[in-house]
Amino acid sequence: MIIGKIDSYIETCPIGCRASLIETDIILAEGCLLRCSACGQLISQCSASQYLQSMTEFDNPKGTLPDCDSVERHFRRTRKWLSWISSKLNKPNQEIRLLDVGCSSGPFLTIASRLGFKAEGVEPAPQAAQAARSSGLNVHQGFLEDIKFPSNTFDIVTMFEVIEHVKDALLLFNECHRIIKSGGLLMIGTANTDSWTANTMKSRWEYFDISKHGGHISFFNPQSMRVLAQRSGFKVESIKTHSVRFLEKEGSTPVFYRMAKIIAELMNLPSRVFGKGHDMLIFMQKL
């Protein structure tokens, strides 16, 4: 039996489970989050109109460029990921064809191109896509399934903060599998709901709030990622997590927030070791 509101945008597990969706104690404005009884995926009960309205925040010329304080950190992190990709593929950067899905105005593509990758992107938001093209990047405006890339085109497909916005993740991953070359890679960045942050904060975690994080409707954990990989023809190479949070700054007193932040920083290393961080990075290889 499927439990949920009649007008819910998502009515079944986004990764293809045919199991029941059960209510959780994570209560949001649009209703409690539902959990797939098979894979543990968490699902919003928002309506289609709520979802579409929340997604309008991404259609702006600035896209999702990092702010001035985080530009250097973003560059170092991206360079590290790209170095891992070229090492794993055993190819020089200049021979690696990379596609960034949901690239926004192109912060990741800019660095990949600068480092020699044959990089291009896909972005559904018209203004963000145009901003990327205006800066000289090769970006296709639309949804990945609508672009119709030839099969076996890319060595690596990346998706950062994308899959939590998607109603049918299995459809998206099947398309990624089709366009990735044999032995190629899929790299995903999303949140981990089997984290100390999610389990402690529950509905207080801003990540679940569609009014603050537009389009967040589908929430993953390591188990649901493994199920999704298996169903779409990928092998999970690694799942890495990091970061812990126990309080949001908004609504907290300065003293309690600082105390919670210190405790969270002490828990960062254990969260990496035990896979309980709320930021999750998944590497998959096409079988």
Per-residue confidence (pLDDT) for residue 68, from 0 to 100: 65
How many other C-beta atoms can be found within 10 angstroms of the C-beta atom of residue 67? 7
Residue 1 pLDDT: 42
Tokens for 239, please give them: 């799942």
Q: pLDDT tens across 213-259, in order?
A: 999 999 999 999 999 999 999 999 999 999 999 998 887 889 988 99
pTM for this model (two decimals): 0.93
Q: 208 pLDDT exceeds 90?
A: yes
Task: Report pLDDT digits (tens) over 90-143.
Answer: 999 999 999 999 999 999 999 999 999 999 999 999 999 999 999 999 999 999
Give the helix/strand (H/E) hosting 124. none
Q: What residue type is assigned to position 242 of the chain?
A: H
Supply the pLDDT for residue 189.
98
What's the chain's average pLDDT?
94
Q: Is the pLDDT of residue 67 over 90?
A: no
What pLDDT does 60 receive?
Answer: 83
Chain position carrying tokens 């994570």: 26
Q: On the CB side of 76, how many CA atoms lie within 13 Å of its CA? A: 4
Domain boundaries, the chain: 58-203+220-286
Architecture of domain 58-203+220-286: 3-Layer(aba) Sandwich (3.40)
For residue 44, pLDDT over 90 is answered with yes
pLDDT digits (tens, 9 = 90+) for 143-180: 999 999 999 999 999 999 999 999 999 999 999 999 99
The pLDDT-based confidence of 81 (bands split at 50, 70, 90) is: very high
The residue ranking higher by pLDDT, 61 or 45, is: 45
Please name which of 190, 167, 147, 207 lies closest in space to residue 284, comparing C-alpha atoms.
190
Contact (Cβ atoms closer than 8 angstroms) between residue 208 and residue 28: yes
Residue 4 has pLDDT above 60, yes or no: no
**Is residue 7 over pLDDT 90?**
no
Nearest Cα neighbor of 182 from 82, 285, 85 is 285
pLDDT (tens digit per residue) in 178-194: 999 999 999 999 999 99
| Distance in angstroms (rounded) separating the CA atoms of residues 165 and 78 | 22
